[in-house]
A and B are shown apart, each in its own frame.
Chain A
Amino acid sequence: MTAQLDAHLAAERDGFTLDVRLRIAAGEVVALLGPNGAGKTTALRVLAGLHPLTAGHLTLDGADLDRPDRRMWTPPERRPVGVVFQDYLLFPHLSALDNVAFGPRRRGADKRAARARAQEWLDRVGLGDQARRRPRQLSGGQAQRVALARALAVDPALLLLDEPLAALDARTRLDTRAELQRHLGAHPGATLLVTHDPLDALVLADRLVIVEHGRVVQEGDAATVTARPRTDYVARLVGLNLHRGRADGHTVTVGELTLTTADTVHGDVFVAYPPAAVALHPSRPEGSPRNVWAATVTGVQRHGDNLRVQLAGPVEVAADVRPAAAAHLGLIPGRPVWAAVKAAETRAYPA
């Protein structure tokens, strides 16, 4: 598969350095996932031409758009790029129809053709009967769909979405996410979705690219990323405990702790296991679990039907316990407990 987008984005912003390589195939949806301040929005702005590249290159649909080494830069209005902004930025003085018609009109369509095209797109996102409304008369979900129609109406070779669901309430988000998935699936160009919500990324994207501090720390499909996180941020995102250590067969040394794993590995490795795999005991447990250590409770939070307990000790881990068990253990911060993890529930893989 040839890449629709092939980019090496190097940029500076407020003393922050971005250095990210991205390749997206035609029809592929890639999620750029990362914590706040990781450089996701800067990457999006660079791709849209709203922020200059300091080095690297940007090739879209076979054409070089940006080559700082050759002093080449394409202004945003000449890029085949559509953007759905986080708060949509629908023009408040134009109707929904004219908002969507704005792009085709600027790209050479006459007024009638642009409006016909806009109407077509509004129909496609299910808002054909709202064409005359002003943005302030639309609900959040409707505004999001108009923004999507507006970005898609110019047939962009690259569609960029900046936290497209972040401004919506939980109920609307569910419906809009399903709707968005359908439209992204139908988009023939490349799509980059910027988000800090792992659920959006997992549902909407074919592939995940995770950035931290302006750099790619991990990329892959949803199954790989969720099963084998490579940074603490990703591990937290997918709800796993993660340690880095040195392995020799079935044993992994993590600091002072030695863990036994089911997988056979050697050298630098990651060990991951879910919080539910961590059992807590008031005293040192007898019997089967081989991975046992003394820990101290540092915090307790509600997590679904269970309680998530944060533990300090030789390694920092989270454990999920049932409320009844928590009451029995008397889990308050500062309480010493014994943590146990079965080898069968851990996963070890090369770092």
Chain B
Amino acid sequence: MSRTVRRQRVPIALLVPAGLGLAFLVLPLAGLLLRAPWTTLPGRLTEPGVLTALRLSLVTATVATLLCVALGVPLAWLLARVEFPGRRLVRALVTVPLVLPPVVGGVALLLVFGRRGLIGSWLDETFGVTLPFTTAGVVLAEAFVAMPFLVIAVEGALRGADPRYEEAAATLGAGRFTTFTRVTLPLVAPGVAAGAVLCWARALGEFGATITFAGNYPGRTQTMPLAVYLALETDLQAAIVLSLILLTVSVVILAALRDKWVGST
């Protein structure tokens, strides 16, 4: 089979801004690669502080993503499948962290989960648990900003899935929860995966809410973005190396998952 290749004419008025946009997105990354201290790279990579921050980042982003999936998928199901008064309001509220400056999110978290916060004081008195300035606090801050990505992706997938499959499951004897786990969830699995990847990437890069709510303690709450920011003040080379690592990890994991689940384009 031969296909006739037709020359596509692209208007210059679209081509120029498109090219500029691409350059704007790619150039900073190229700059990062160009300025990287390649000769001293192996030594810097094995510095204990770097690995600690990297491990902390990966662990907290993953735990935050799991938390988002555990809470966000049922929330998305509720928004997509159950009619209740105020549903539009709830949907709007879910997206608030998306547009909220992360620092404001951190402050808000402090007010609620802080030692003297609404829930924080109760947690402290009853269980002796404090969340701010702990690794758990990092997870909380990351989950707060990343969850909307998951909820929006999963709700979209649920709305796209034919609800009549759920009716078919009901006629076969499946209750609503069984239908959800056996039919709905497998049908929207690609959407959940896509949402989880977005959520994880957002959690990995989280900065503002984390530094406000969890602080910047190496080994405990200092994630990679915080380490980059700190390094920038003292040692530019170190900041570049840390940025490169973060960039590599994100790209590798996104690419791997994209092929496996998300890749439909």
Q: Which residues of A contact B (CB under 8 A)?
A: 48-50, 75-79, 81-83, 85, 89, 91-93, 102-103, 106-107, 150-151, 154
Chain B residue, CB-CB nearest to A106:
B173
* Docked pose: A83 CA to B174 CA in angstroms: 13
Interface residues of B in 150-170 (CB under 8 A from A): 162, 164-165, 167-170
Interface residue SS majority, chain B: helix
A48 to B169, Cβ gap below 8 A? Answer: no
Q: How far is the CB of A114 from chain B (nearest CB, A)?
A: 11
A111 to B244, CA, bound (A): 50
A50 vs B174: C-alpha distance in the bound complex, in angstroms?
13
Contact of A50 among B170, B175, B186, B189 (CB under 8 A): B170
Once the chains bind, are A76 and B186 in contact (CB under 8 Å)?
A: no
User: Do A107 and B173 form a contact, CB below 8 Å, given A85-B164, A89-B165, A89-B168?
Assistant: yes
* Alpha-carbon distance A79/B174, docked complex (angstroms): 11
A103 close to B165 (CB less than 8 A): no
Q: How far is the CB of A73 from the nearest CB of chain B, in Å?
A: 13
Q: Which of B168, B186, B189 contacts A83 (CB 8 A)?
A: B168
Cα(A83)–Cα(B171), bound, Å: 7
Measured CA separation A103–B172 after assembly (Å): 5
8 contacts between A and B (CB under 8 A): A75-B170, A79-B171, A82-B171, A85-B164, A93-B189, A106-B173, A151-B171, A154-B173
Q: A91-B183, A92-B187, A93-B186 are in contact. Are A76 and B165 (CB under 8 A)?
A: no
Q: How far is the CA of A106 from the CA of B170 in the complex (A)?
A: 10
User: Provided the pairs A89-B165, A89-B168 are in contact, do residues A77 and B173 lie with their beta carbons within 8 angstroms?
Assistant: yes
Asked if A103 contacts B183 (CB within 8 A), the reply is no
Bound-state Cα–Cα, A79 to B182, Å: 19
7 closest Cβ contacts across the A-B interface? Answer: A106-B173, A103-B172, A76-B170, A89-B168, A93-B186, A83-B171, A107-B173
Known: A89-B165, A91-B165. A102 touches B170 (CB 8 A): no
Q: Check if B178 is an interface residue, CB within 8 A of chain A.
A: yes
| Total count of chain B residues near the partner, CB < 8 A | 18
Given A91-B183, A92-B187, A93-B187, does the pair A102, B164 have CB atoms closer than 8 Å? no
CA gap between A125 and B99 in the complex, in Å? 56
The answer to whether B167 touches A50 (Cβ under 8 A) is yes
Task: Compute how far the CA of A151 lies from the CA of B171 in the bound complex, rounded to whole angstroms.
Answer: 9
State the Cβ distance, A75 to closest chain B Cβ, in Å.
Answer: 7
A321 to chain B, nearest CB (A): 46
Besides the known contacts A93-B187, A102-B169, 19 further A-B residue pairs in the complex with CB atoms under 8 A apart: A48-B167, A49-B170, A50-B167, A50-B170, A77-B171, A82-B171, A83-B168, A85-B164, A89-B165, A89-B168, A91-B168, A91-B169, A91-B186, A93-B186, A93-B189, A103-B172, A150-B172, A154-B172, A154-B173
Docked pose: A47 CA to B182 CA in angstroms: 24
B187 / chain A contacts, CB cutoff of 8 Å: 91-93
B172 touching A89 by the CB < 8 A rule? no
Chain A positions within 8 Å of B164 at CB level: 85, 89
In the complex, the answer to whether A77 meets B165 with C-beta atoms within 8 Å is: no
Known A85-B164, A93-B187: A48·B178 in contact at CB below 8 Å: no
Is B168 within 8 A of A77, CB to CB? no
Alpha-carbon gap, A274 to B33, bound state (A): 86
Contact A48 B171 (CB under 8 A): yes
Q: Which residue of A lies closest to B186 (CB)?
A: A93
Whether A106 and B178, one on each chain, are in contact in the complex, defined by CB atoms closer than 8 angstroms, is: yes
Instruction: Name the A residues within 8 Å of B173 (CB-CB).
Output: 77-78, 103, 106-107, 154
* Inter-chain contacts of B171 with A (CB < 8 A): 48-50, 76-77, 79, 81-83, 151
A93 to B171 alpha-carbon distance, docked (Å)? 18
Q: What chain B residues lie within 8 Å of A78 (beta carbons)? A: 173
Q: Which residues of B contact A79 (CB under 8 A)?
A: 171
Question: Which one of B162, B173, B174 has the greatest number of beta carbons of chain A within 10 Å?
Answer: B173
- Please report the C-alpha to C-alpha distance between residue A104 and residue B225 in the assembled complex, in whole angstroms: 53
Interface string of B13-49 (1 = CB under 8 A from A): 0000000000000000000000000000000000000
* A151 cross-chain contacts in B, Cβ below 8 A: 171
Give the Cβ gap from B126 to chain A, nearest Cβ, in Å: 40
The complex places the Cα of A106 from the Cα of B168 at a distance, in Å, of 12
Tell me whether A102 and B172 are in contact (CB under 8 A).
yes
Chain A residues positioned under 8 Å from B168 (CB to CB): 83, 85, 89, 91
B residues in contact with A85, CB < 8 Å: 164, 168
Closest to B162 in A: A89
Q: Are the C-beta atoms of B174 and A102 separated by less than 8 Å? A: yes
CA distance A309 to B107 in the complex (A): 81
The chain B residue with its CB closest to the CB of A86 is B164
When C-beta atoms are compared, the residue in chain A nearest to B171 turns out to be A83
